[in-house]
Amino acid sequence: MVRWTFMANSKHSRMHFGVFDLFKIGIGPSSSHTVGPMIAAGRFLREHTFETTPARIKTELFGSLAFTGMGHSTDSAIMLGLSGCLPHTTNPDEAPKIVKAVHSSQTLKVFGTENIIFNPLKDIVFNFHDRFPHHSNAVQFTAYDVQGNVLAQQTYYSTGGGFVISEPETRQNEPFEDMRPPPFPFDSADELLALCKTHNKSIADIMLENECAYRPKKQVLAGIDTIWSAMKDCITRGMQQSGTLPGPMKIKRRAHAIAQSMDAQTDLSKYDPLKVMDFVNVWAMAVNEENAAGGRVVTAPTNGAAGIIPSVARFFDCHIRGRKDTISLDAFFLTAAAIGSLYKKNASISGAEAGCQGEVGVACSMAAAGLAAAMGGTVLQVENAAEIGMEHNLGLTCDPVGGLVQIPCIERNAMGAAKAINAARLALRGDGSHHVSLDTVIETMRQTGIDMQEKYKETSKGGLAVNVPEC
């Protein structure tokens, strides 16, 4: 059996993973299985020079992409990507129509104009046997001419959170070598804390200055606003939708019904001090129901875990910031992104690589840090919050029932959001001193991910996926 290695570590040394890498606007249901393959398909066509328009393009999906690709709409993502769609601009309402047209016409429009014969059932192959050594989520594209000669072939890895790397890039020492180092480079939490201390800056300050090395400050702050708006829109849409989610299980959407039942509670004599947690639950679930339905979602840092950060940000926005709207949410998102970048560099944000600790665990850690920072926590309290957020998600497996990002994913986001708020509160009640450092917990998460059996890494071959009937 081939075991793939984690793609983190030295390759990403001194790289800047910024707020717009961790938070990307796309569509559901999965950043690694939908957004990544869509990007890879587009890259395949853009990165190769074809002397003649391909007569056929074959796509082969490996590892986790094969095992859970059908439930994660990877086949649709491939069709959309080859048709020239990009995750951040694709209208989630139009996408199913494009896919349906490919199925019914058995053709696909490449390069904007050329129709090629395309039979999704034959031209997208789910390979359950072979694996590539670098990452479970491998996708290989092969273009043929009319005689069946290979015009081009390339393999890409979808490494979680919408990040995509080609096979040649895995062999380079620095896959993104064109990227200049930021003014405050850091590869570990210790280095980040040292930078904060030396320069008397918060984590958000350090992150903002790093972002401003690549784009004007005005653009950075406007971009964060756009991300927050997209998250809020997603919560709103998710709370308005009812009915069932796509898939054979016909899972009922719950966010709308819970929100309605909360609205109906008008008896103020029945004061419920934990009602705020109902909101936190419903916001997180609204996002993940939208994600499961293929709606517009922001990776945070992945689609599967996309509900935690919006829910915690909304909690801060509604229940803590209140009328003091001069306090911005920039510190929340910048801090969360800084913490997410540490996991991306030193461990993984991919369920196929690290199990759900790499998705919901990381999102919980990021949200806890963001909330602690927004609430005025010190740098050490913020680091403590991030550490607590991951420590109690260590070992969390990925076992989506039916290969769909629904059970346990939707509810798990509500749990992750509640845990993040508690982690921030615990940290803010202390003075920042603690026994387990963030670096230690990230390394522990990495080792646990390596030790975790593959059936618990987004293959739907273990856990709830084999114990819960699909219909």
Q: Based on CB atoms, which residue is closest to ligand SF4, 280 or 396?
A: 396
Contacts with ligand SF4 by CB under 6 A: the residue count is 13
Q: What are the CB-based long-range contacts (under 8 Å, 24+) for 269-275? A: none
Min. distance of Cβ 415 from ligand SF4 in angstroms?
11
Q: Which of 80, 375, 398, 414 binds ligand SF4 (CB under 6 A)?
A: 398
Residue 367 contacts ligand SF4 per CB under 6 A:
no
Which string of DSSP letters, residue by residue, matches 26-73? EESS-IIIIIHHHHHHHHHHHHS--SS--SEEEEEEEHHHHHHTTTTT
Residues with Cβ within 8 Å of 186's Cβ and at least 6 positions away in sequence, in order, are: 192, 195, 206
Residues 246, 35: Cα–Cα separation, whole Å? 18
Residues with Cβ within 8 Å of 383's Cβ and at least 6 positions away in sequence, in order, are: 189, 192, 193, 369, 432, 437, 438
Q: What are phi and psi of 202, to 5 degrees?
A: -85, 170
Distances 107 to 21, 82, 125 between C-alpha atoms, Å? 33, 11, 17
Residue 356 contacts ligand SF4 per CB under 6 A:
yes
Q: Based on CB atoms, which residue is closest to ligand SF4, 348 or 384?
A: 348
Residues with Cβ within 8 Å of 42's Cβ and at least 6 positions away in sequence, in order, are: 81, 82, 84, 85, 86
Residues 259, 205: Cα–Cα separation, whole Å? 36
Min. distance of Cβ 452 from ligand SF4 in angstroms?
11
Q: Based on CB atoms, which residue is closest to ligand SF4, 84 or 400?
A: 400
Residue 359 contacts ligand SF4 per CB under 6 A:
yes
Q: Which of 116, 196, 360, 373 binds ligand SF4 (CB under 6 A)?
A: 360
Residues 411-440: x where in contact with ligand SF4 by CB under 6 A, - otherwise, as a string: -x----------------------------
Q: Based on CB atoms, which residue is closest to ligand SF4, 65 or 374?
A: 65
* Residue 366 contacts residue 423 (beta carbons within 8 Å): no
Min. distance of Cβ 35 from ligand SF4 in angstroms?
13
Q: Based on CB atoms, which residue is closest to ligand SF4, 373 or 420?
A: 420
Chain residues 295-334 in contact with ligand SF4, contact rule CB under 6 A: 304-305
Q: Which of 138, 405, 418, 441 binds ligand SF4 (CB under 6 A)?
A: 405
Kindly list the residues in this chain that would bind ligand SF4 in the complex (CB under 6 A).
304-305, 351, 356, 359-360, 398, 400, 405, 408-409, 412, 458
